[in-house]
Amino acid sequence: MNLTLESYINHINSGELKAVDVLNNYLNKSKDLNKENNAFVRFHEEYANEFIKNSDSTILKGAPIGVKDIFLTKGLVTSCCSKMLQNYISPYSSTCFLNLEKAGACMIGKTNMDEFAMGSSTENSFFGPTINPYGKNRIPGGSSGGSAAAVASDMCIASLGTDTGGSIRQPASMCGVVGFKPTYGRVSRYGIQAMASSLDQAGVFTKTVKDAAILTKYMSGKDKKDATSLDLDFSDSLDLALQKDNLKGYKIAVINQFFSEGLDQGVKKIILDKIEEIKDKGAEVEYIDFSILDYALSVYYIIMPAELSTNLSRFDGIRFGHQDETFKYDDIYSYYSSIRNEGFQDEAKRRIMIGTYVLSAGYYDAYYLRAQKVRKLIKEEYDKIFSKYDAIVGPVSPTPAWKIGEKINDPIKMYLSDIYTIPVNLAGLPAMSLPAGNIEKDGESLPVGLHIIANQLKEENIFSIASVLEK
């Protein structure tokens, strides 16, 4: 147990461990811990035991992984932690999951998440919240909170998540694991339930930077079923990046706006200490202004619900979704509304209403189109920054993990917790949360992540900085 992906592969190759034994140990440990933390919503034991039989000849040797309940996996339930899809068995698998299956990663189960990936705390799950392994009554972050908690408590070696506005990086930061989201297009979105298609990107949770590179390499690549997927291999550049032991020649930007009001003093100290370490390793660090970032959250909360309301329109109880014979309805409209009222929880309803509103005739120009224009300006500002700097570093989340229930009734407060992660998705950039330290709060030691952001397709800069700091 307590294996990294790299050490697991080595132990299997040397014959010291057998894949089937490791799998069963992980399954037993996970099922046991799950009673306390609810990181998994389903275990796929039968699938895993069948899969492991043929894993010897593969690259990843059957390494046990957790998969966010949003990736379609053929013949097995994928529910997006919604009542709407509670019993939905997908007829095909998502491309990136297939890629990992081919490479030999063995899924042990599906991990908990906010319903349809909407949220920052995993409290919007139909199956109840996941508990942060570092705090008794604390959220693990979200929306991929189950995947982060599962890796943090060694219920699996690594896990998959999706990041539309921070859902990999924020829970990784709060659970003290590595969370990496590649450039938009690196990983095919085919077969991943869409939240906001122009922002969604799949990525990984791991215990080490190297493990993140290994898994990302195998899950990414061109897929003719996703027109936005990229036909570019980055394996060699990642391998080179992992060998770095200093940051000489690197120019790194720190955004002043990220250190203003709202940032927890403990988080601030950890991040500033890391920035000093980065300087000690030879990089040149400069503080810059990025004032248009003040609009990022507003832009996201127009574009995301617009795309989301469109993507969720297929859940109407006819094409897809929850059905119940006992529903009383007079016409097709009342049928739809009763199905959608029963199937979706509050956050989904709120965002469907906002999205429908900003796309409606008369408001489209005033909100949606305007948000798209500001999005473009944000992207252009990033382009300028990356013409001078190799990366941006800063905090992932303004605070460490908060208490369950603390923000659930205040959507604006909840939305504000994503202020540092959201701009990255608006520009399609790759980014990582790297464990940076812990803060003591109420007798608990809560993890904090360092945010490392690079230009599109410059993942190697992130991996260089992260691996030098990790070493």
Catalytic residue set: 68, 143, 167
Tell me the β-bridge partners of 453.
Answer: 392, 431
Q: How far from the centroid of its chain's Cα atoms is residue 403's Cα?
A: 20
Nearer to ligand GLN, 145 or 176 (CB): 145
The bridge status of strand 64-68 relative to strand 284-288 is unpaired
Nearer to ligand GLN, 266 or 411 (CB): 411
Tell me the β-bridge partners of 393.
Answer: 254, 452
Distance CA 251, CA 220 (A): 28
Distance CA 139, CA 123 (A): 8
Tokens of 149: 């908690």
Nearer to ligand GLN, 317 or 394 (CB): 394
Instruction: Name the minimum Å distance from CB 425 to ligand GLN.
Output: 7
The contacts of residue 397 (CB under 8 Å, 6+ apart) are: 141, 166, 170, 173, 174, 267, 417, 418, 420, 421, 448, 449
Instruction: Name the minimum Å distance from CB 416 to ligand GLN.
Output: 10
Q: How far from the centroid of its chain's Cα atoms is residue 245's Cα?
A: 28
Residue 371 in contact with residue 234, Cβ under 8 Å? no
Nearer to ligand GLN, 125 or 167 (CB): 167
Nearer to ligand GLN, 165 or 447 (CB): 165
Nearer to ligand GLN, 104 or 119 (CB): 119
Instruction: Name the minimum Å distance from CB 70 to ligand GLN.
Output: 9
Nearer to ligand GLN, 195 or 446 (CB): 195
Distance CA 348, CA 162 (A): 17
Instruction: Name the minimum Å distance from CB 119 to ligand GLN.
Output: 5
Instruction: Name the minimum Å distance from CB 428 to ligand GLN.
Output: 14
> Is the N-terminal amide bond of 94 cis, ω within 30° of 0?
no
Give the binding site for ligand GLN (CB under 6 A). 117-120, 143, 162-167, 195, 304, 418
Instruction: Name the minimum Å distance from CB 3 to ligand GLN.
Output: 28
Query: What is the widest separation between alpha-carbon atoms in the chain?
Result: 70
Tokens of 210: 């190297």
In the Cβ-directed half-sphere of 303, how many Cα atoms lie within 13 Å?
A: 26
Residue 275 backbone zone (phi > 0: left; psi -120 to 50: alpha; other: beta): alpha
Instruction: Name the minimum Å distance from CB 378 to ligand GLN.
Output: 16
Type of residue found at 141: G
Residue 256 burial by Cβ neighbours in a 10 Å radius (0-12, 13-18, 19+): middle
Nearer to ligand GLN, 117 or 462 (CB): 117
The contacts of residue 226 (CB under 8 Å, 6+ apart) are: 95, 188, 189, 190
Tokens of 68: 């966010």
The contacts of residue 202 (CB under 8 Å, 6+ apart) are: 71, 96, 160, 161, 162, 163, 187, 189, 192, 219
Instruction: Name the minimum Å distance from CB 85 to ligand GLN.
Output: 16
